[in-house]
Chain A
Amino acid sequence: MATFTLNINGKKQEVDVDPSTPVLWVLRDHLNLVGTKYGCGIAQCGACTIHLDGTATRACMLTVSSVGNSEITTIEGLSENGDHPVQKAWLEVDVPQCGYCQAGQIMTASAFLEKNPNPTDEEIEMAMNGNICRCGTYTRIKKAVKLAAKS
């Protein structure tokens, strides 16, 4: 066990965990930030996507010891009142079915749009390809990303 001070959603948080613990489980089990989801544990499905210094990152394979002073943003910290343009677009298009993968989809989309504010359909698909949606909301996700890009 070791103590780590993490910078999460603009707040310093101290945790005492095994250094090999992935950030996913630190968030979920130790800080009760359960918006970041467990889906595969091997960075294949994207359900656990967070921002690490603004870059979309898979929290399931990111060990707590490797984070250092980097800034972590989770779905809970993406916006104050759930009014980030991507969140608003998701609601406007009524994207979710079961909803489980959507936090990860939103985190990938929001980091992507920061870097590419006017993407083509192909660029959206390539950026989102690491996020699986088992309910098949893909067509609406693309619509929402395009809508968010406009605003």
Chain B
Amino acid sequence: MTLVKTKIGRRSFIRNAGLASGGLVIGFNWLASCKMTPEQVNSLPKEWFELNGFLKVGDNGMVTIMSPNPEIGQNVKTSMPMIVAEELDVAWKDVIVEQAPLNTDIFTRQLAGGSQSIRQGWESLRMAGATAKHMLKEAAAQAWGVSADEITTKDGVLTHEGSGNSAGYGEMASAASSIEVPEEVQLKDNGDFSIIGTDKKNVDGKKIVTGKPLFGLDVYREGMLTAMIVHPPAFGMKFKSMNAESVKSMPGIKDVFHFEAYPDDVEKQWSDGGGIPELVAIVGNSTWECMQAKKALEVEWEEASKLESTSYHNEALAALLEKPQEVPARKDGDVEAAFKKAAKIVESTYSAPYLAHNTMEPMNFFAHVTPEKAELLGPVQTPEFLEKTLVSRLGMPAEKIDIMMTRMGGGFGRRLYGTFAVEAAVISQKMNAPVKLVYSREDDMTQGTYRPSYKVKYKAGLDKDGNLIAWHVRGAGTNDDLIFENRFPAGAVDNYLAEKHSLQTNVTTGAWRAPRSNFIAGAEQAFMDEVAEAAGKDPLEFRLELFDRAINNPVGDPEKNDYDPKRYAGVLKLVKEKANWGAETGKARGVAAYYCHNSYVAQVLELEEGSDMPRVDKITCAVDCGIVINPLAARNQIEGGMIDGIGHATYSAMTFEDGRPEQSNFDRYRLMRHSEAPKNIEVHFVDNGIDPTGLGEPSLPPAIGALANALYKATGRRYYKQPFINDKAPLVG
């Protein structure tokens, strides 16, 4: 067992009278108001005893565990409480999970982003369970007059073998709640885990399949109004005037007004990213009435800055690829000298368009702002930052602002930017009424915060024996400089040069699932394939050779390299074995590997025979994310990430004409559908007992490279431009 001090985050473990007496949690518990199943109602305890901010134990042994982080489909609402339950030693069937509201006194990092919820919550979640278990043991020890060290726990039962005493957690809960919070607690050894590492189904599964209100758009309050926004039709335009009066008299419409979501004096957070400063609000009784008014409203816009088109972005990014970076991001050896003596040189340029997040649930938020308090409820990945912005925008102290997260119909990074929640709060304040702001799909798709458009140029040099002697990468993105200069193959090549540029544009961008990696991994891994081919080597073995170099004789300071070559090579070796790489299958196959969000993923992707855009028949995937909390949900994340990557790289693009988005709904913005999805997916995890790392993002980036490499095998043509569906071979003759 490991003994850990509970001092870190100790305030989390101080019993909170406000919570115990039903303050914030109970008053805010909109989600628990969803009808419970009869089994749940019958098994509810008469009284709950809170042992710390993460959990309370009922007098019948039921345990409620708060899930602190926002749930966007990454399944933390199941996996985070599993970690608490593991250390508490309670049976999973006796656990009720509740979504915690924003509470910075109890929880740290209530944020869904960067695939970090489990990695960064790992220690505090374990401590929460272990602390409560310790207090239950102490209570039993006092009751039985024995030493707490001699008491064992299992499935919510305390046992003292020597005296023959035994009691359920429920019997000791009351006494435990007045036990001193320990200074130190013991954590379990990995080998003693009985919940971690087992398949547990989504705790919201039943509510999802029966259509219970769970999401932000499902929020309803007595007297609630619906609001919609009208934003500028093009990036570079701003509000000038409108015919509000004629629309105000339409049926069900309460008000139409122009407002500033972000006046100049607002102290903005990074999470306010691409927020549109000025908007028009339409407020009415129902969504359809607001939609009708939105159609009828005529707004005049004026040009505020350059109206950019996709052709401009492409030309400007291409121009940056010709420009050296003043001080290169990283430089090892001398690439120019190496290229001069190289036996072979390979050079390629890759590109990708802007992408919209397109969560299936469009942006929305409920807000009720009165002079006394602000209540916000809805789907946001960054509640803590939202609170800070609201303090400034509403002119209200944080104590008067309550924020609760609903389950979210997808995030993918879009809900890191809670601009819509700020808009909802401002509209509610103006209306002095509870308001639910609803974006139409078109509002959602055309408002910005896009995955940037990228271009990257690679050049590699090989000696006469096919050894990689030089690697030069120069990348550029819109509002983003794309390159991770210390990632592979940095450290594995003697002569290495990484350069990066950012093109400032007024088309707003933001984090999109696996930022930067979602493009650079595919490009790098496709280029690696070209280089391996030029070297006359098997692409997988070629990569392993490079990792050998990085392990045995790294270039530069190995501490600087942002990856562990042993773990990287480990997933490649695992996928090699599981996919039986090298065996003749008669099918076109591609391999790729990538490291991001602290995890390592390798894939072998196999295509069906046929058409010029063949379907993925099978993906074999190897993952090293350390300890896997919930293998069932982990496989789901890995599968979904790969489908996300393959789907977008094949089909999706946002383009612009004079600042206007040319796609505004799913008729012109193409997403992968059932008949295009990979047919079979196999996921294998490396079992190494290392503390857990990211899972929500790491499988997406390499899948694009594996696809590009398999497409080459199937068609004899390299794919350089996303979406691949448009990267057609030129007509000959």
Residues on A facing B (Cβ under 8 Å): 1, 17-18, 20-22, 25, 28-30, 32-42, 44-45, 47, 74-76, 78-79, 82, 87, 90-91, 94, 96-103, 106, 121-122, 124-126, 128-129, 131-142
Contact = CB atoms under 8 A, between A and B. Distances in A.
Interface in B630-656: 632-633, 636-637, 639-644, 647
Nearest to A29: B286
B359 A134 contact: yes
A34 B675 contact: no
Given A22-B288, A25-B287, A29-B226, A76 B210 contact: yes
B212 A35 contact: yes
Contact of A96 (B205, B213, B440, B637): B205
B410 A82 contact: no
Given A20-B288, A39-B441, A125-B675, 5 more contacts: A38-B287, A42-B441, A44-B667, A79-B210, A94-B202
Given A25-B286, A98-B72, A137-B636, A75 B210 contact: yes
Contacts of B218: 34
Given A25-B287, A76-B210, A18 B251 contact: yes
Contacts of A126: 675
Contacts of A139: 639, 643, 677-681
A136 B678 CA distance: 10
Interface in B162-192: none
A121 B213 CA distance: 32
Nearest to B210: A82
Contacts of A124: 674
B508 to A, nearest CB: 20
Given A42-B667, A136-B647, A37 B210 contact: no
A44 B669 CA distance: 10
A5 B687 CA distance: 60
A136 B210 contact: no
Given A75-B211, A91-B205, A98-B360, A134 B674 contact: no
13 contacts: A25-B288, A33-B211, A34-B211, A34-B213, A34-B217, A41-B665, A42-B665, A94-B636, A97-B73, A98-B361, A102-B208, A122-B675, A134-B671
Contacts of B73: 96-99, 135
B110 interface: no
Contact of B674 (A32, A100, A128): A128
Contact of A45 (B208, B214, B360): B360
A101 B360 contact: yes
B360 A29 contact: no
Contacts of A141: 674
Contacts of B205: 90-91, 94, 96
Contacts of B201: 91, 94
Instruction: Enumerate the 8 nearest inter-chain pairs by beta-carbon distance, A residue then B residue, closest first.
Output: A35-B211, A100-B409, A98-B73, A136-B643, A75-B211, A138-B677, A99-B208, A44-B666
A41 B409 contact: no
Given A39-B360, A45-B360, A132 B666 contact: yes
A133 B675 CA distance: 12
Given A42-B665, A96-B205, A99-B73, A18 B409 contact: no
The interface size bin for chain B is 35 or more
A90 B674 contact: no
| Chain A CB within 10 A, most for which of B362, B441, B641, B665 | B441
B478 interface: no
B407 interface: yes
B211 A74 contact: yes
B36 to A, nearest CB: 13
Interface string B105-143: 000000000000000000000000000000000000000
B211 A99 contact: no
| Chain B CB within 10 A, most for which of A21, A91, A133, A139 | A139
A136 B640 contact: yes
Interface in B411-430: 411-412
Given A21-B288, A82-B209, A40 B640 contact: no
B286 A125 contact: no
A97 B360 contact: no
Contacts of A25: 286-288
Interface string B189-200: 000000000010
A29 B440 CA distance: 15
Contacts of B643: 136, 138-139
Given A22-B288, A97-B636, A129-B675, A102 B666 contact: no
Contact of B209 (A30, A90, A142): A90
B672 to A, nearest CB: 7
Nearest to A89: B209
Contacts of A87: 209-210
A37 B217 contact: yes
A131 B673 CA distance: 7
Contacts of A79: 210
A98 B220 contact: no
| Chain A CB within 10 A, most for which of B210, B359, B666 | B210
B286 A136 contact: no
A17 B679 CA distance: 45
Contact of B206 (A17, A75, A82, A142): A82
Contact of B677 (A96, A97, A136): A136
A134 B673 CA distance: 9
Contact of A134 (B202, B358, B681): B358
A35 to B, nearest CB: 2
Contacts of A133: 360
Nearest to A38: B217
Nearest to B645: A136
Given A35-B212, A41-B441, A97-B640, A135 B410 contact: yes
Contacts of B74: 97
Contacts of A18: 251, 288-289, 292
| Chain B CB within 10 A, most for which of A126, A128, A138 | A138
B49 interface: no
A37 B209 contact: no
Nearest to B362: A38
Nearest to A44: B666
A136 B665 contact: no
Interface in B399-454: 407-412, 438, 440-441
Nearest to B215: A100
Contacts of B409: 37, 98-101
A141 B636 CA distance: 12
Contacts of B202: 94, 96, 99
B697 to A, nearest CB: 13
Contacts of B292: 18, 20
Contacts of B441: 39-42
B271 interface: no
Contacts of B671: 132, 134
A129 B672 CA distance: 9
A13 B286 CA distance: 18
A128 B211 CA distance: 19
A99 B214 contact: yes
Interface string B245-269: 0000001000000000000000000
A30 B287 CA distance: 10
Contact of A97 (B75, B286, B362): B75
B640 A137 contact: yes
